[in-house]
Structures are given as C-alpha cells and as structure tokens.
Chains A and B, each alone.
Chain A
Amino acid sequence: MQTEVVTTKSEGAVPGNGLDRENYINAKHGIWSWLLTTDHKRIAILYLITITLMFFLGGAFAAGVRLELMTPKGDLVDSDAYNKLFTMHGIVMVFFFLIPSIPAVLGNFLIPIMIGAKDLAFPKINLLSWYIYMAGAAFFMVATLFGGVETGWTFYTPYSTAFSHTNVILAAVGIFISGFSSILTGLNFIVTIHKMRAPGLTWFRMPLFVWAHYATSLIQILGTPVVAVTILMVAVERLLKLGLFDPALGGDPILFQHLFWFYSHPAVYIMILPGMGVMSELITAFTRKRVFGYEFIAISSLAIAVVGFLVWGHHMFVSGQSTYAGMVFSALSFLVAIPSAVKVFNWSATLYKGSVSWESPMMYAIGFIGLFTIGGLTGLFLAAMGLDIHMHDTYFVVAHFHYIMVGGAIFAYLGGIHFWWPKITGRMYPEYWARVAAVLVFAGFNLTFFPQFVVGYLGMPRRYHAYPDEFQVLNVMSTAGASLLGIAYLIPMLYLTWSLFAGKKAPANPWGAKGLEWTIQSPPTTFNFDHQPVVTEEAYAYAESHDTSHDPAAPPAQAHA
C-alpha cells in the first residue's frame, strides 16, 4: 500500500519523518538486535509488546469473572476456577501490566528524550530490568500452566501460607522477581533525571511527565523491597513452616497485612502518578498552553509519593487494628486526597483561554479527569472509617479502584500511547477510529463499574462466585459494560497494528506540541539528538515561541536546540 509522507516544509536541519532515513528501528536488523539492545527506545518497544500481551491475558481473566457473574448461581465455572480467575486477573493487571505500563514503555522511551539525553544512565541495567520482568512473568506463566493460584492478589495469610493448595510459591517468586525490574527502572530514572539533564534544563523547567516519573521512582525504590521481603516471607512460611504470619505457628496474620499494604498502597501511586504525568503533557499539548500552576502540579506529585507511604492502615479498619491507629490512617488518607484534587483543578484551569483540540489523546485526557475525579471522591468514602466498616471488601471498593486504575491509569496510558505513537513508530493512526474507540472505552467502562458502586453499598462482597438474586440486575449491567469495554480495547489494537504498515507517515511534530521529543524526527535516531540540545525556556512555553510549529503548516519548533 502506498503511503504518503506528510511532508514538512523542512528547511535542511529540521527533521521530519525519519522512516526513510536512519532511525532507531531500522538502525540494526535481526532478532538479536532487539533482544540485546541497550537503546531505551527499543527496550520500551520490548516492554510495549510484553505488557500488551499481559493486558489481554489479564483482560481474558476479567472476561471469565464477568461472564460468571451474569447469573447469581455459580454455574459457568466451579468455585476454585472462579477464585483463580479473579486472583490471576489481579496479579497480572497489577504486577505485570499497571506497574510497568507507563514507566517502562512511555517513561523508558521519553524520559531521556525529554531531558535531552542520549539514553538512560544505565542502558544495560535497563535491558536487565526487562529480562528480570520477563523472568518474573515466566514464573507466573508456569504457575498459571500448573493450574494457577487462588489466594487473591493480596496473598492474605494464613490462607496463602497454610491453606491454599495452589501454586502460591511459583506465583510469589514471579512477583518477587518482577519487583526487581521495577526497582531497577526506578533507580535508572532517578539517576538519569539527576545527572543527565540537558544544559539549561533546570528542575522547574522539566516536563511534568518527568516530575511524575521522578516521584514514582522514589516509591519504586523505597517500597518495592518491602513487598519483595513480604512475599518471600510468605514463601518461607509455606515451605518451611516458619511461624511468621500463621497464628497456629505463633505468627501474626495482621503483620502480613501491615507489610503488604505498606508497599501495595504506595503501589497504587506507582500506577497512577505516571498517568498524571501523561495528563499534564496531553492537556498542555491539546490546549497549546502552559500548564496552570506548574510548581503545584510538580510538588503535588512528590507530596503524593511521600504521604502515600503513610496511609496503608486504611485497608485494615475492620481487621481489629487499634481505633487510634485507624484514626491516624484515616486522617492521612484524607490528606493525600488534597494533592490529587490540586492536580485536577490545575488541569481544568489550563483549559481556560486555551486552544482546545478534541483529538483522540485529548478525549482520553478529558475522560481521565472525569473518571479520576469520581475515583478520587469515592476514595473519600473509603477513607471515612465509619463508612468503611460497611463498604470494606464490597464491590464499592472494586468500583473505586477500577475508576482509578482503569479510568485513571489505563485512560492515561491509552491517551499517551496515541499521543506519542507518531513519535514512537513514525506513523499516524486513523483518527476517526481512535475517537470511536475512546468513546466506546468510556461508555463501556462506566457501564461496567458504575453499577458496582450501587451493588457494593447494597452489601455484595467482592470475590463472590455466587450471590443472592437481588444483586443480579446490577451485575448484568456490569457484564454488559465489560463486553463493550472488551471490544473497545480491541479496536486500538487493530488500527494501531494496521498503522504500522499502512498508516500515514508522521511528521516530527504532528500535534504542534512543545517538548524536546517533538524537535527530533519521528521515529528518532538511535542517539535521539544530532547535537546536544540546550534548553532556554520553561516547559510548555507555547506563548513564547514565534510559531505554532504545527506540521505541515509550519516547521517544527527549534526553540530548544
């Protein structure tokens, strides 16, 4: 199929589409050039492929869960199979999709470029973290092939250590190993951001995407070791009958919950903070405007990372933890809501007097604001101790965290993938289909998860294979929504794949956006920049530049170079 190059009126030095020139994709050939690459962009592609597979695997498990819940009776699969479905949905989505998603794909690809560097600080460690991730995933897949695991993704003790007859240790080892991938990625980002910024790129000139990843990386390197040790303790207790968590052996099951949530609540911010970083990029690019309250958005990321470490006890209000501990955790949980609210207000205010374009990435961004707002507000319900007694472990909780994890993190991921797709692949995707998919994802998502708030307050506990008849109508709505959502997720898969072969060739800066990544050709060359860029202005300096630099009308901005 003939492809048309959307040419830029480029004047010599200004790069446009790089597909016919040397770029990071065609620089080397052969499978080993990918599997042994140390190019951050190629590693991002490796992650993109693997986490996409994981996403659809996790989605398949979710489909099983939703189909079973169409009817009150447990009639599609038996109880053990159902318990495995929701457990493996959770493990795959949390540990093998959401945690690596934005950092390992978009962060890997973009952070060096955004700060004007050739690569991350430790390119080989970057490759190593992908292999570690793959090793972890391999252990988990082996656990799946041997029959899976059914402890819930939370591995609560003593169930996981003394009662489950499934592949707890294999799955635990998989998670343990993949945690190191996360730690190394975080470490790499932190060093890179500290040491490799281009001349002139001060901290408060960095794109907010970089700030968000910096905050995320802090959590990754401080929190992940704790869950690694905890998971290891589960395996040790299971294997050696060492009394750590099992009261029959003299252990304390509540200790496990403290250790687990000490990581796993901050892990929620590992999943959402990068999404917030993507949001700041999308909102500014599609309003062509400086972000409102840059410093407040930047600092709020750090505030979320820090306070997020001190709220874990809100998962344990009904566990028998002391009332006063509960109060402190409740108060801190309310506190962490504030920096999130600050971000939402600042993004909204950025639209004011902007030049707002409703292209597909922006549709995801607008969807994110709405869904994240609902997710955040319903978090207040759960932080409220008196209410949480009733809502804890019901579908209200399930709905709440899906609004954050899907409505937030996945919307940001999809928005980001669309936004940077031309940069990553050098191809444009069909905008019409992208908009159709964005609308369907939004509709399907809400139909799936909004009824769960209602059924949760009615009292339907989560992780129920069968349920009383009166909950059926809401569950059928949820399953109908999930079907729509499942189809909607496949559409981008199809047109993005199609675009790789037949999409229009993308110019360097199809959106007229600011940021160093838009000053280089699409797809970039192996070393990103021909010359060391020098940064002379703040991020999102749309008003300061003398052209809107929108291809093909104008040549891309060279303001930074």
Chain B
Amino acid sequence: MWSFPLFPDQASTLASKVDALYFFLIAISIFFSILIAVLVVGLAIKYRRRSDDEKPPAIHGSLLLELTWTLIPAGIVLVIFVWSAEVYFSAVRVPKNAIEVQAVGKRWMWKIQHMTGKREINELHVPVGVPVKVTLTSEDVIHSFFIPAFRVKKDAVPGRYNTMWFEATKTGKYHLFCAEYCGTKHSGMIGTVYVMEPDAYQAWLGGEQAGASLAGAGEKLFTDLACITCHRGDSGARGPDLAGLFGKPVKLASGETVTADETYLRESIVQPAAKIVEGYQPIMPTFQGLLSEEQLLQLVAYIQGMKAEVKDEAAAPAAGAAAPSTGAR
C-alpha cells in the first residue's frame, strides 16, 4: 500500500458523486493531454527541419476542422456542465429530515452548537447515515467550513447564514479545515469530525447535558431581552407578530417583499432599521454588539420554532383566537 495517501477518504453520500465526476474529468483530461502531446511532439519530430531551404506549403485552415474542434469541446463541456450542476444541486438541497447543527467561525476556532444545547469547539460529532444540516456564520472574518472526506465546503460569512449539509456513510475521524484565509492561525483553525454509530451518538449527545436546548436558550433570551413586550402578537403590539413568520414572505414598508429566512431574522435583530415591516414604526433598538453569534443563533432557532406552536393552536378551533396575547408565542 501507499505510505502516503493519494486520494481522500470517501465518507459521505456526496463523495462518490463528486468523485465520479472527477474521474470523468480526469479521463477527458488525459485523453486531450495525450492527444495534444502526441500531435505536437509527433508533428514537430515528423516535420523537423532537415534543411534550411525547406519551403512548407501555406495551409490557410479548414472550416471543417475549426467547426470540429469548436463543437466537440462545446459538446463535452455541456455534458460536464449538466452533470456538475446536478451534483451541485444534490449538494445544496438539504433533505427534510436533516438534523441541525450550528457552527460559528471565530478566529481561530469553530464553535459548534447542537440543537440540544450541547456545545463543542473544533470538534463535530455526527451520526452515521443521518443527514446533517450545518448553519454557518462568523463572528469576525470570512471562514470556510471544509470537510474533505465529505467533499463539502461552505463559507462562514459574517452577517449572514449559509447552510450546507452532508450525510456521513462511514464512522471514523475526519479532518475539518478552515479553507478561507482568516489571518495568523488560519492553518490552526482545524478540527475533527467524529462520525459515530447512532447509538453512540445519542449516548454522546445525552452524556453531559449542557443546559437548555437551543430553542430553550433562545426563549429565555426572548424574555430577558424583553423582545416579548413588543412582539406580542396582538393587534396593539408595537412589533410584528413572529409566530409562524419563518419561511413566509414579509411585505416591507419600502414595498419590497422578502422571505423571512435565518439571515433576515438575524439582520432584523442586529440592524432593525434595515428592513421595516409594512405598518410598523422603526422603533426597535439595535442589538448589535450586545449578542454573540451563538446567542443570535439561539434566538433564530427559537423564532423558527414559533411556527410549530402556532400551527398546533390554529388546529385547536377558536381557542387560539380567544386568547391572542397568550398564544402569541
């Protein structure tokens, strides 16, 4: 066997798809490299100058040949394009049943929060055979969350949430790298992904309960920061109702409509004046600098969850409508 690896581990459902495309491209590359090399070196030897008086014929070109070597490469790149777009879509479409993890990049570490509230630094424990969605952001500069064995990478950009997902197929330890240059200890911003059997994962997750779940921590913040005094949900509330908001279109005072995704929620907490909901006054104070990225993620997780509760209440006839102020969250 090799004393050093020449090919990375294949440890996710995506890896084999990416590698198949990779091998196809290598085959194409070898074919064309050899073709060109044989053509050039072969012709350069065959037609090497034997005497200084040689008078080569003037060959102006050939439309047929030009079309051939325009259209054949065009066809090949079209195939690559479609194939690679297909791989890309499977890499960005998060399965519905994915468990969620939040990762915050901070020079020079990865801070991970699990939905149960369990936290870790530079380590990520995930179960094998289960899709995992990672929501990424950064506290400072742009980082990039890169797990070579899974063939996944996504930038962690300050001020916005990017998501990626993977499904590990093999238990073991894998590299986690920061792939976007982030300063002095960029190459030290590395960690380990532990892929575990589901049982072992559950045991690990439940092993040492770090307190409330993410949404629970968010709920506490929601109360402590007095968000609840304005975002009450009744008709006289000074802030928009947040229940059931997530994923829905929001009509803004500017006339635009945006979707209430994670990035929108985060922005509305940090820079409330950036997007004012139609019918409301820009009176909310900014929370910039008052909340860490982890706390913001907890709040977002909580607001996201407010949807489910409201749905339940809506299902219970009249009860919700009768007591709007208690049902607001």
Q: Which residues from chain A sit less than 8 Å from chain B, CB to CB? A: 74, 79-80, 83, 150, 152, 156, 158-159, 162-164, 247-248, 250, 252-254, 287-290, 292-296, 317-320, 323, 326-327, 330-331, 334-335, 337-338, 341-342, 344-349, 351-358, 362, 366, 369-370, 373-374, 377-378, 380-381, 383-390, 392-394, 454, 457-459, 461-468, 470-474, 512, 541-544, 548, 550, 553
Give me the 10 closest cross-chain CB pairs, A-B, nearest first: A459-B148, A386-B87, A247-B159, A384-B84, A543-B58, A385-B88, A351-B43, A293-B61, A464-B187, A334-B77
B86 close to A366 (CB less than 8 A): no
A341 adjacent to B69 (CB under 8 Å): yes
Within the complex, what minimum Cβ distance (angstroms) separates A408 from chain B? 14
Contact B66 A331 (CB under 8 A): no
Q: Contact check: which of B36, B53, B61 meets A292 at CB < 8 Å? A: B61
Residues of A within 8 A of B151 (CB): 389-390
Q: Among the listed A342, A465, A466, which residue makes an inter-chain contact with B69, where contact means beta carbons less than 8 Å apart? A: A342
Alpha-carbon gap, A461 to B190, bound state (A): 11
Flag if A163 contacts B18 (CB, 8 Å).
no
By beta carbon, the residue of chain A nearest B263 is A320
Contact B157 A386 (CB under 8 A): no
Note all chain B residues with C-beta closer than 8 A to A390. 18, 148, 151-153
From A296, A330, A356, give the contact of B48 (CB < 8 A): A356
**In the assembly, what is the distance between CA of A354 and CA of B41, in Å?**
13
Q: Once the chains are docked, how many angstroms separate the CA of A467 from the CA of B182? A: 15
A387–B87 CB distance below 8 A: yes
Q: Across the interface, do A370 and B52 meet the contact criterion of CB distance under 8 Å?
A: no
Interface residues in B71-115 (C-beta closer than 8 Å to A): 73-74, 77-78, 80-81, 83-92, 107
Question: Within the complex, which residue of A349, A351, A468 is in contact with B175, where a contact is CB–CB below 8 Å?
Answer: A468
Q: Which of A293, A330, A353, A387 contacts B25 (CB 8 A)?
A: A387
Q: Which of B43, B59, B153, B157 contacts A389 (CB 8 A)?
A: B153
Contact present for B4 and A473 (CB under 8 Å):
yes
What is the bound-complex CA distance between A347 and B74, given in angstroms?
19
Q: Is B246 interfacial (CB-CB < 8 Å)?
A: no
- Known A-B contacts A330-B84, A330-B85; the reply to A463 vs B181 at CB < 8 A is yes
A369 smallest CB distance to B (angstroms): 5
Contact residues in B for A362 (Cβ distance below 8 Å): 44
B210 at interface by CB-CB < 8 Å: no
- Most chain A beta carbons < 10 A, residue from B6, B74, B86, B179: B179
Q: Is the CB of A159 within 8 A of B39?
A: no
For residue B5, CB closer than 8 A to chain A, the reply is yes
Instruction: Report if B319 contacts A (CB, 8 A).
Output: no
Q: Which interface residue of B57, B153, B182, B185 has the most chain A CB atoms within 10 A?
A: B153
Q: Determine the chain B residues whose CB is within 8 A of the CB of A162 once the complex forms.
A: 141
Quick one: given A296-B66, A319-B155, A384-B81, are A553 and B6 in contact (CB under 8 Å)?
Answer: no
With beta carbons under 8 angstroms apart, the residue of B70, B146, B154, B160 that contacts A247 is B160
Q: B27-35, B197-205, B295-303: which lies at the A interface?
A: B27-35
User: With a CB–CB cut-off of 8 A, which chain A residues contact B177?
Assistant: 459, 461
Are A377 and B33 touching (Cβ within 8 A)? yes
A341 contacts B141, CB within 8 Å?
A: no
Contact status A386-B8, CB under 8 Å: no
B142 interface residue per 8 A CB criterion:
yes
Is residue B271 within 8 Å, beta carbon to beta carbon, of the partner chain?
yes
Q: Evaluate whether A385 and B146 lie within 8 angstroms (CB atoms) in the complex, with A253-B157, A341-B69, A348-B40 already known.
A: no
In angstroms, Cα B184 to Cα A543, docked, is 61
Give the CA-CA distance A388 to B25 in the complex, in Å: 12
Partner of B185, one of A79, A334, A389: A79
Q: Could you tell me if B141 and A389 are in contact, using CB atoms closer than 8 angstroms?
A: no
- Residues of A contacting B55 in the complex (Cβ-Cβ under 8 angstroms): 288, 355, 542-543, 548
Question: How far is it, in angstroms, between the C-alpha of A407 and the C-alpha of B150 when the chains are bound?
Answer: 32
Q: In the assembled complex, how far is the CB of residue A432 from the closest CB belonging to chain B, in whole angstroms?
A: 18
With known contacts A287-B56, A389-B151, A465-B186, A459–B8 Cβ distance under 8 A:
yes
A374: contacting residue among B3, B29, B43, B77, CB under 8 A: B29
**B78–A156 CB distance below 8 A:** no
Cβ contact of B179, chosen from A384, A457, A461, A468, cutoff 8 A: A461
* A386→B88 contact, CB < 8 A: yes
Verify A458–B148 contact, CB threshold 8 A: yes
Contact A470-B4, Cβ < 8 Å, known A352-B47, A356-B44, A380-B25: yes
